[in-house]
Amino acid sequence: MKFKISWPAGIVIALASFMIFILSFLYKAVFMPEYGHNLVSEDYYKDELNYQQEIDKLNNAAELKQNIIWKKVDLGLLISFPSEFEASKIKGTIAFQRLSNDKIDFLLPIELVTNDLLIPNEKLVEGRWNVKIEWTVNNNNTYLFKEKIMY
């Protein structure tokens, strides 16, 4: 016994199959918890209002003779602050943000003895990180360093 499908029935079956395929992806994207749809920041609109201040801080950092330098070493991530400033007078915060998983984001205070700061390997997971270093010297000028790094 041969099974025959007429061409109109074949077109209807193909269209129905395609629609089921697309709707299954739509269901996965909207309703499954693995595919979280979180904004990068919970206070997105408030952050947008403060963006001009951020640009001013970035411009302050660009005017320095030497900006912050980072490099991956055996023990972790080494962040070197400009040598033109005394290390004990540098204060601020370092924010590490992982776009793929906000549960591993963290914030570190800057407390230096030398101009180098080591972030140990235990705190960082391999992959792409957004690093935002906001720091001041003698509570006068505020500087900002933003970088996307692959660790």
Average pLDDT over residues 63-74: 90
Contact 144, 58 (CB under 8 A): yes
Model confidence pLDDT, tens digit, residues 70-100: 999 999 999 999 888 888 889 999 999 988 8
Domain boundaries, the chain: 1-37, 44-150
Model confidence pLDDT, tens digit, residues 34-57: 766 665 666 777 777 788 888 888
Residue 64: predicted pLDDT: 87
Model confidence pLDDT, tens digit, residues 13-39: 999 999 999 999 998 888 877 766 665
Provide the β-strand partners of residue 26. none
Rg of the chain over Cα atoms, rounded to whole angstroms, equals 25
- The CATH architecture of the domain made up of 44-150 is Sandwich (2.60)
